Structure 1
Amino acid sequence: MQPINIHLADDHQILIDGIKTLLNTIPEFSIVGTSLNGAHIYEEVTQNKTDILVLDISMPEKDGIQVLKEFGEKGFPCKVIILSSYDDIKIIKEVMKLGASAYLTKHCACDSIIEAITSVMTGQEYFCKSVQTKIFETATKNNPKLKPVPLAIAGTLTDREIEIIILISLEYSGKEISEHLCISTNTVETHRKNIMKKIKAKNTISIVKYALKHNLIRA
Structure 2
Amino acid sequence: MKKIKVHIADDHKILIDGIIAVLSSEENIEVVGYSLTGKDVLNWFASNEADILILDINMPKVDGIGVLQNFLEQGFQQKVIVLSSYDETKLIKEVLKIGANGFLAKKCAGENIVEAINAVYNGKQYFSKSIQEKLLSTFTKQLTKSDLPSQDGSFFSSLTPREIEVLRLIAKQYNSKEISKLLHISVNTVETHRKNLISKLNVKNVVGLAIYAVKNNIV
TM-score under structure 2 length normalisation: 0.69
Secondary structure of 2:37 counterpart: coil
* AA matched with 2:122: T
Counterparts of 2:142 and 2:82, CA distance in 1: 29
* AA matched with 2:48: N
Secondary structure of 1:176 counterpart: coil
- Deviation sequence 1:72-107 (CA, Å, 0-9, x none): 111114110001011010110000000010001001
5+ long unaligned stretches in structure 2 = 149-167, 174-196
Secondary structure of 1:16 counterpart: helix
Structure-2 residue corresponding to 1:129: 129
5+ long unaligned stretches in structure 1 = 147-156, 163-167, 183-187, 193-203, 215-219
* AA matched with 2:217: A
Contact map agreement 1:45 1:78 (CA 8 A) in 2:
no
Shift in alpha-carbon separation, 1:115–1:127, aligned structure 2, 3 A: same
Structure-1 residue corresponding to 2:159: none
Structure-2 residue corresponding to 1:110: 110
* AA matched with 1:117: I
Counterparts of 1:33 and 1:102, CA distance in 2: 20
Task: Measure how far apart 1:3 and its partner are.
Answer: 1.0
Structure-1 residue corresponding to 2:204: 176
Structure-1 residue corresponding to 2:96: 96
1:23 and 2:23 are equivalent in the alignment: yes
Secondary structure of 1:211 counterpart: coil
Q: How many residues of Structure 1 are paired with residues of Structure 2 in the alignment?
A: 172
Task: Measure how far apart 1:2 and its partner are.
Answer: 1.8
Percent identical among aligned pairs is 44
Task: Measure how far apart 1:176 and its partner are.
Answer: 3.1
* AA matched with 1:211: N
- Deviation sequence 1:158-217 (CA, Å, 0-9, x none): 9x549xxxxx9xx963x3353xx39xxxxx5xx79xxxxxxxxxxx9xx699629x9xxx
Structure-2 residue corresponding to 1:140: 140
Structure-2 residue corresponding to 1:201: none
Query: Which has the higher mean CA deviation after the structures are superposed, 134-143 or 72-81?
Result: 134-143
Counterparts of 2:201 and 2:106, CA distance in 1: 31
Task: Measure how far apart 1:42 and its partner are.
Answer: 2.4
1:211 and 2:217 are equivalent in the alignment: yes
Structure-2 residue corresponding to 1:59: 59
Counterparts of 1:142 and 1:72, CA distance in 2: 28
Counterparts of 1:210 and 1:77, CA distance in 2: 36
Shift in alpha-carbon separation, 1:177–1:12, aligned structure 2, 3 A: same
Secondary structure of 2:61 counterpart: coil
Counterparts of 1:84 and 1:208, CA distance in 2: 28
* AA matched with 2:61: E
Shift in alpha-carbon separation, 1:176–1:7, aligned structure 2, 3 A: same
Shift in alpha-carbon separation, 1:210–1:77, aligned structure 2, 3 A: closer
Structure-2 residue corresponding to 1:217: none
Shift in alpha-carbon separation, 1:115–1:209, aligned structure 2, 3 A: closer
